[in-house]
Structures are given as C-alpha cells and as structure tokens.
Amino acid sequence: MRLYDCADIIRSKNAGPFAVTIDLFFGDEERYRMARESALLTPEGVAAAYDVAVDRVKGVWWDDRIRAAKVSLMRWSSSTDPYCADLFGAHLHTPLAAGSLTGEAS
C-alpha cells in the first residue's frame, strides 16, 4: 500500500528557506498504526525516498492523540534559489507519498 492510499491528508511546506516539513493525518487507528510501523516513515526510509543522506532528515514525529505525523528534512536547494522549482515546498511531499508502506517495489 502506498502512503497516499493510507493517509487522509499529506501536505508539505517550507520550514524556513532550507527545510521542508510534511504533515500526515490518518482517519482511523488501523491505517495510522500501519504507517507508524512501516520502515518508510523512519529517518532511514525518508532518506531513501528522497535519495539523500540520513543526516538530512531532521526527524519524524508522531502524535497518537490526533493520529498524525510530521516529517522534516533539509531541502536539496534553498527556496530562495532562482532555479528552485517549488518556491513554497508545496509539492515536495510527492516522493514520500508515493512510497510503499509494505516494502514492495515501486
């Protein structure tokens, strides 16, 4: 199952000019637990989804009360770079959203 099939809301935005944050919200406990237990939503899994070093992932945080997660990683180019294709970071969640929660090949 892909993350975009599991999460109800996936959105990304800049967290300053050098970082992006991705918010994930899940509609029920089963899908939330599936995502939380997946290898995709670990610092190593996020780094693999974006093909960056693990130290570029600032963290993955979970909130069980509202069945949500936050992922933060360093951008590969500054949002102020004149060649930046996503000034607001609004589409930077796509590689993670397309990732598999079950470890199947993409």
The single-letter code of the amino acid at 76 is W
What pLDDT is stored for residue 106 in this prediction?
Answer: 47
Task: Output the pTM of the full model.
Answer: 0.88
Each residue's pLDDT, cut to its tens digit, for the chain (106 residues) gives: 999 999 999 999 999 899 999 999 999 999 999 999 999 999 999 999 999 999 999 999 999 999 999 999 998 888 888 887 787 888 889 999 999 998 655 4
The verdict on residue 104 lying in a domain is no
Count up the domains in the chain and report the number.
1
- Domain residues for 25? 3-98
Output the pLDDT for position 54: 97
- Contact present, 35 and 69 (Cβ < 8 Å): yes
Say if 21 falls within a structural domain: yes
Cross-strand bridge partners of residue 37: none
DSSP string across 10-59 = EEEEESSTTEEEEEEE-SSHHHHHHHHTSSTTSHHHHHHHHT--GGGEEE
pLDDT of residue 49: 95
Strands 19-25, 57-63: pairing is unpaired
102 vs 104: CA distance, rounded Å:
6
Evaluate whether residue 11 is within a structural domain.
Answer: yes
Tokens 């109800």 correspond to what residue?
8
First to last CA, the chain: 10
